[in-house]
Amino acid sequence: MATWSKVKQQLQSFMSPDLEGRVEYRASSYKYIKDKAGSCYLSVDKNEVFAMNTTKYNIRWYETEQEIYKDYESVAHVSPDEIQAFKEKEGKNIPDERIPVILKKRKAQAIAKSIFVEQTILSKSNFFEEANTFLTSSIDSSLASDHILLNVFAIIDRRVGKSRLRKMEQQINEKHPVVQYFYHLRLDK
């Protein structure tokens, strides 16, 4: 994976000239914390607009995951086909009674992650994942995505013209407020 400075440089190279110097990608890490937790955020005119904080994210993710795992009704049932597929793929040395527990735990993690994405409680690692996805994907897929950061990266990208953005007004109005904010910023509304 590329370093933060490399990712930041690549993202900035695609930024619309109208927004250069106004929109910044920022990241901080804490040297003396074991996992080097930190945050990433987007700022406009030196004001933080959208932040992703790893430490808060990890704590809330774990709490939500535990709540989901304890409430078996919110975790999808593990089917015999799923158990068999797991055994064939990676469970040859795992006792049969542990496989459903492992599969339910994985489902709880996936549900917790989807809840956080919906609530926009994103982490620093999400920022890097989304940035790398954006840098290796087409603008069209980023604009059409359900991911907030991909939408923002595409909206402030110099390769997307203002006339194209104006045609997307109805779609943008259905997206997250942060996406709408950057849309209006780009169009100077």
CA dihedral for 32, 38, 44, 48, sign (positive or negative): negative
How far is the C-alpha of 4 from the C-alpha of 184, rounded, in Å? 27
Is residue 105 within 8 A of residue 69, CB to CB? The reply is yes
Query: Model's pTM, two decimal places?
Result: 0.63
Tens digits of residue pLDDT in 3-34: 778 888 999 999 999 999 999 988 765 555 55
Tens digits of residue pLDDT in 33-79: 555 556 677 889 988 877 766 455 455 556 666 666 666 555 556 78
Mean per-residue pLDDT, 98-112? 78
